[in-house]
Amino acid sequence: MINLYSTQIETISLHRVGNKNKAEGLFLSEEPFRLNDETTGLLKEYFFKPFREKEENYFKLSNEVDVEFNELYKMASDIFADPDRTHANSKKIAKHLFDQSNHPHIKSGEVYVAHLTGLLLDNVKVDAIGIFKSELKHDFLQFEEKGSNLDIVIQQGININKLDKGCLIFNVNKEEGYKVLSVDSNRYDTKYWLEEFLGATALADENFYTKNYLKFCQNFAKDVVLPAEDKQQEVLFMNRAVNHFAKNDSFEESNFLNEVMENPELIPEFKHYKVEKGPKYSVEDVSNFNIANKAVSDARKKIKNVINLDTHIQIKMDFIDPESAQKFVEKGWDEEKQMYYYLVYFNKEEKS
């Protein structure tokens, strides 16, 4: 888990990278940019806001042969070894990005390379390299006094509320390819930033396994529990699954199945489904791992806990107290109306 509140920008370099396919150029600044209090505050908000809002999916720099052959890895290692070489390496980083800018959809833009200190990663203070790119330009209005009139001047600039692309390379796990976070607001060139420029692959850590295992469980609930039982049991299964993760520090699959799977006949179905679908989520050989609390919280927000009925009525289950959803909601069949019904027990209505 990251905390960027106390992060300091020690040095930053600005360059412009064009689209090589369109014969656009590469502009490299001779010196680092000189920061002041105003620009520092604005840039920190511009750079870091997407990372505070985005789910933490970590990557690592990699290469098919060895991470030492990853171009960005070599430059990052040189910066971490000697921060005074940040600007010299920022030019190499900009050139490397320019070399990947071949697809006609890739937009030219400004590239910012920063050496950062004071970041908290899992409550440990680390330094990092930030690489950010602004691409989309927006029209905005300026106003000038001309004699006795106020005139409108149309100019173009970037929206500092939306970073187009960015990554943070943390100075940890060097041998494995460092620990990396990436954001990309534009979906027209997804391979360009993450795969071709960064050369990054997913980092199989506790966050990765927690998130993927819960996604796997969610699809098991939809594909197996729902057809075998009903929507209520699908919701309750995921309710129990999320709460099992929330109250444990480590995951052990047999304990999980014994606690969460109320219908023991579905346990063999779960194991078969894992063999069949597990590779899609990289959990086919995973049965033990440490649980990442942040990933559980993120998953809880995304999991649907609502039963939608064809009579335009919704029943929302409570993920905080899974027992209440089962104890106070009953499903039945009305012979006279030839319809299913849900019976909900309660003491009083709560004020919204």
What residues does each domain of the chain span? 2-203, 207-344
Q: Are 149 and 198 in contact (CB under 8 A)?
A: no
Provide the 8-state DSSP code for 247: T
Q: Residue 159 pLDDT > 70, yes or no?
A: yes
Q: What backbone phi and psi angles, to 5 degrees, belong to 307?
A: -100, 115
Provide the 8-state DSSP code for 222: I
As a whole number of angstroms, the distance between CA 323 and CA 236 comes to 9
Q: Residue 349 pLDDT > 90, yes or no?
A: no
C-alpha atoms less than 13 angstroms from C-alpha of 168 in its C-beta half-sphere: 28
Q: How many CB atoms neighbour CB 248 within 10 A?
A: 15
Return the ∠ at Cα 54 (arms to 51 and 55), rounded to 5°: 120
Write down the pTM of the prediction: 0.78
**142-146, 168-172, 242-246: which has the highest mean pLDDT?**
168-172
Identify the pLDDT of residue 161. Answer: 86
Compute the average pLDDT of residues 82-100.
96
Which residues lie below 8 Å from residue 2, measured CB to CB, with a gap of 6+? Answer: 51, 56, 119, 120, 121, 168, 181
3-state secondary structure of 151: strand
**Minimum mean pLDDT range among 2-11, 18-27, 87-96, 227-236:** 227-236
Q: Residue 182 pLDDT > 70, yes or no?
A: yes
Compute the average pLDDT of residues 152-177.
91
Mean of all residue pLDDT scores within the chain: 89
Identify the pLDDT of residue 314. Answer: 80
As a whole number of angstroms, the distance between CA 196 and CA 132 comes to 15
Identify the pLDDT of residue 190. Answer: 66
Q: Residue 352 pLDDT > 70, yes or no?
A: no
Identify the pLDDT of residue 30. Answer: 96
Compute the average pLDDT of residues 115-136.
94
Q: Residue 235 pLDDT > 90, yes or no?
A: no
Identify the pLDDT of residue 325. Answer: 62
Which residues lie below 8 Å from residue 40, measured CB to CB, with a gap of 6+? Answer: 9
As a whole number of angstroms, the distance between CA 178 and CA 61 comes to 6
Compute the average pLDDT of residues 236-242.
88
User: Quick one: tokens of 100?
Assistant: 């990947």
**88-92, 157-161, 345-349: which has the highest mean pLDDT?**
88-92
Q: What percentage of the chain reaches a pLDDT higher than 90?
A: 56
- How sure is the predictor about 220, in pLDDT bands with cuts at 50, 70 and 90? very high
**Minimum mean pLDDT range among 1-15, 175-189, 239-253, 261-275:** 175-189
Identify the pLDDT of residue 93. Answer: 97
**Dihedral sign (CA 98, 100, 103, 109):** negative
Instruction: Quickly tell me which residue has 């335009």 as its tokens.
Output: 312
The pLDDT tens digits for 49-89 are 999 877 778 999 999 889 999 999 999 999 999 999 999 99
Q: What backbone phi and psi angles, to 5 degrees, belong to 213?
A: -65, -40
Residue 306 is inside which H or E element, if any? strand 306-308
Provide the phi-psi class of 79: left if phi over 0, else alpha when psi is between -120 and 50, else beta. Answer: alpha
As a whole number of angstroms, the distance between CA 1 and CA 56 comes to 7
User: Quick one: tokens of 255?
Assistant: 């304990």
Query: Is the model more confident about 131 or about 202?
Result: 131
As a whole number of angstroms, the distance between CA 97 and CA 166 comes to 12
**Minimum mean pLDDT range among 18-22, 159-163, 186-190, 248-252:** 186-190
Classify residue 196 by burial, with Cβ atoms within 10 Å: 0-12, 13-18, 19+.
Answer: middle
The pLDDT tens digits for 277-335 are 999 999 999 899 999 888 888 877 777 677 778 888 887 766 555 566 667 777 788 88
Q: Are 73 and 67 in contact (CB under 8 A)?
A: yes
